[in-house]
Structure 1
Amino acid sequence: MDKFEKLTGVAAPMPMINVDTDMIIPKQFLKTIKRSGLGVNLFDEMRFDDDGNEIPDFVLNQPAYRNAEILVAGDNFGCGSSREHAPWAIKDFGIRCVIAPSFADIFFNNCFKNGILPIVLPQEDVDKLMDDAQRGSNAVLTIDLENQTISGPDGGEIAFEVDAFRKHCLLNGLDDIGLTLEKAGAIQSFETKAAQERPWV
Structure 2
Amino acid sequence: MQQSAVPELARADTRPIHWVATATAVAGVIALSSLVQPGPATAAQPTHATEARPAPAPTATTPPGTTGVTFPLDCGPVEAVVAHQADGDLDGDGKPETVAVVHCDAAMGTPPDAVYVLTRSTGDGRPRIVATLVQPTDRLTVTDLGLSARTVTATLLGYSSDDVPSCCPDVRKPAAWRWNGHAFLRSTPADTRGV
Q: TM-score, normalised by structure 2?
A: 0.23
Q: Which has the larger radius of gyration?
A: 2
Q: TM-score, normalised by structure 1?
A: 0.23
- Structure with the higher strand share, 1 or 2: 2
